[in-house]
Structure 1
Amino acid sequence: MKSRLSLLPPGALTAGAVSFTVFAWASAFVSIRSAGSAYSPGALALGRLLTASVVLIALLLIRRVGLPPRGAWRGILISGLVWFCGYTVALNWGERLVDAGTAALLVNTGPILMALLAARLLGEALPPRLLAGMGVSFVGAVVVGLSMSGGGSTSVLGVVLCLLAAVAYATGVVAQKPALSFGTPLQITAYSCLTGAVACLPFAGQLAAEVPEAPLSATLNMVYLGVVPTALAFITWTYALARMPAGKLGSTTYAVPAVVVLLSWVFLGEVPAWLTLIGGVLCLAGVAVARSRPRAAVRAAA
């Protein structure tokens, strides 16, 4: 399997990693809505991160990967505390107050903050195509959120919590980017997740009390959140982050609301309106614009 993957061009592997991450993170919005009815925000965050930590520790042992270098720990600690812990708790709480589509819209303001922070702190460029793609995708995300929020409950606190999650998301990515120059994606993901799990330990009492009372479907959703959207998707995310600018990678997550619409349609029986479908198309179109390169650059690369 490893030899077959090595035959693929690096661009194809990066695109595959980005695609898997987008679909996995989109599915998380649906799973959080399902598990959030039985688990409190902190308990759900701890259960998700503990599950992910078990998977990641197993991968570390199998791959015989040691501790990250000293230079990576600053980014690991910030990412673990702000992104893995803070983002997860805020999003879990926010999705108890707003519907999944609105939550996806609000959280996906993060890539704008991410691109701006990366330009300010990491010196990354803001090319016109990236800005144009972000603008188109943001309009699409607004259309998706507005079209879906009509049937759900929206509160000011829920909106604020989702916006805080977006800030935590952007901050965590920008902090994680320099760490990847010292450690591998698996190392950065595993130890960031472990940091987040330790930070969520004050919720251990709630988790222990809620597990026996929760239905099996909610617990399975919590386990799924830990294995797929956290353990596996964060590895593919850091793999892609190590190979492309943070701002450009962040713009690809604007496709998440469109995927949330599709998954909500399939698993929750929510039939999207035509306005929602238009917004989803705009999200994907913006991602395509942001990831495209001028013809002259393509010819030079060829």
Structure 2
Amino acid sequence: MSWLPPAAAGVTVLLWASAFVSIRSAGAVYSPGALALGRLLAGTLVLGAVCAVRRVGLPPRAAWPGILVSGLLWFGAYMVVLNWAEREVDAGTAAMLVNIGPILIALLGAGLLGEKLPPRLLAGMAVSFAGAVAVGLSMSGEGHASALGVVLCLLAAVAYAGGVVAQKPALAHAGALQVTAFGCLVGTVACLPFAGQLIHEASSAPVGATLNMVYLGVFPTALAFTTWAYALARTTAGRMGATTYAVPALVVLMSWLLLDEVPALLTLGGGALCLAGVAVSRSRSRARPSR
């Protein structure tokens, strides 16, 4: 069914956008490493249960290099570093810098995976990145930014891009559920050094913050990463990366509806540019009729 991959990508983008609202609550109580581990534990438990019910076995040996790299970079390093970065910079600056990730995905996909860079993809990413910058600038006016925070955001973007590009070849040998479940398990194991912090902070954390952490693990991690892998297996890494530029626009809308944060005109304009760029990058040029 041709509509399933776009629908899966839409579910991913929607849930990843909702994650920013939950991180605001949980991140105020849990330290970066503890929040990442708690989120990954919840995701691993859910994915493990699904794999057990569906009797999903171990991935083939050929898929393990991509699963290990994506698990360490994307599920592990990216989540910890991004949680840390958002304590050092304001949300707008983080949004601008992390949105370098889709550009890196397209470049790495072309260099390492031999993917093409069609003009429509490049044009759409340029428009969307301009929109992300506009959203970031509109949100950065009263915030703060440190040199450490900027470096952490850039590292998060690199880890995100590297994880996606590593995951793409693994999906040629294993299913989306296998790649996601075992990648999440690898990230969980990598974050186990933060177990002491998680136990200590969970003992005194408000129920709302802990529920938000569990939500992050069940929906934006277990479900959204699986639908992402399903869609990624059926398109290029560059095109999927460009799809995530819809996230800033959805975050603006959700903050407006759920947090009563009325966006400025520049924020609305930037969100519209993000969506327009995604539409351009996902479109396909019409083939010329042969004579």
TM-score (norm 2): 0.97
> How far apart, CA to CA, are the structure 2 residues paired with 1:31 and 1:109?
23
Kindly state the Cα deviation for residue 203 of structure 1 after the two structures are TM-superposed: 0.2
Q: Which residue of 2 aligns with 1:206?
A: 197
Q: Which residue of 2 aligns with 1:148?
A: 139
3-state DSSP class of the match of 1:96? Answer: helix
The residue identity in structure 2 corresponding to 1:167 is V
Q: Which residue of 1 aligns with 2:173?
A: 182
Q: Which residue of 1 aligns with 2:21?
A: 30
> How far apart, CA to CA, are the structure 1 residues paired with 2:63 and 2:225?
16
Q: Gapped runs of 5+ residues in structure 1?
A: 1-8
Superposed CA offset, 1:89-118 (max 9, x none): 011111122333432332121000000000
3-state DSSP class of the match of 2:260? Answer: coil
Q: Which residue of 1 aligns with 2:126?
A: 135
Alpha carbon RMSD of aligned pairs, Å?
1.3
Superposed CA offset, 1:33-53 (max 9, x none): 211110000000000000000
> How far apart, CA to CA, are the structure 1 residues paired with 2:157 and 2:22?
18
Q: Which residue of 2 aligns with 1:66?
A: 57
Q: Is the 8 A contact 1:105 1:257 kept in 2?
A: no
Q: Which residue of 2 aligns with 1:239?
A: 230
Count of equivalent residues? 290
> How far apart, CA to CA, are the structure 1 residues paired with 2:213 and 2:257?
19
Q: Which runs of 4+ in 1 moved over 6 A?
A: none
> How far apart, CA to CA, are the structure 1 residues paired with 2:202 and 2:117?
46
Q: Which residue of 2 aligns with 1:17?
A: 8
Q: Gapped runs of 5+ residues in structure 2?
A: none
The residue identity in structure 2 corresponding to 1:239 is Y
Q: Is the 8 A contact 1:77 1:192 kept in 2?
A: yes
Match of 2:239 among 248, 251, 264: 248
- Matched ranges for 1:1-302 at <5 A: 9=1, 11-296=2-287
The residue identity in structure 2 corresponding to 1:154 is A
> How far apart, CA to CA, are the structure 1 residues paired with 2:100 and 2:19?
17
The residue identity in structure 1 corresponding to 2:25 is S
3-state DSSP class of the match of 1:38? Answer: coil
> How far apart, CA to CA, are the structure 1 residues paired with 2:192 and 2:53?
26
3-state DSSP class of the match of 1:39? Answer: coil
> How far apart, CA to CA, are the structure 1 residues paired with 2:89 and 2:255?
14
Q: Is the 8 A contact 1:111 1:253 kept in 2?
A: yes
3-state DSSP class of the match of 1:68? Answer: coil
The residue identity in structure 2 corresponding to 1:263 is M
Q: Is the 8 A contact 1:101 1:261 kept in 2?
A: no
TM-score (norm 1): 0.93
> How far apart, CA to CA, are the structure 2 residues paired with 1:257 and 1:105?
10
> How far apart, CA to CA, are the structure 1 residues paired with 2:277 and 2:156?
22
Q: Is the 8 A contact 1:33 1:100 kept in 2?
A: no
> How far apart, CA to CA, are the structure 1 residues paired with 2:23 and 2:172?
32
> How far apart, CA to CA, are the structure 1 residues paired with 2:134 and 2:113?
31
Q: Identity of aligned pairs, percent?
A: 71
3-state DSSP class of the match of 1:293? Answer: coil
Q: 1:263 to 1:155 in 2, by over 3 A?
A: farther
> How far apart, CA to CA, are the structure 1 residues paired with 2:137 and 2:150?
13
The residue identity in structure 2 corresponding to 1:133 is G
> How far apart, CA to CA, are the structure 1 residues paired with 2:97 and 2:50?
33
Q: 1:269 to 1:152 in 2, by over 3 A?
A: farther
The residue identity in structure 1 corresponding to 2:200 is A
> How far apart, CA to CA, are the structure 2 residues paired with 1:98 and 1:88?
15
The residue identity in structure 1 corresponding to 2:196 is G
> How far apart, CA to CA, are the structure 2 residues paired with 1:152 and 1:239?
37
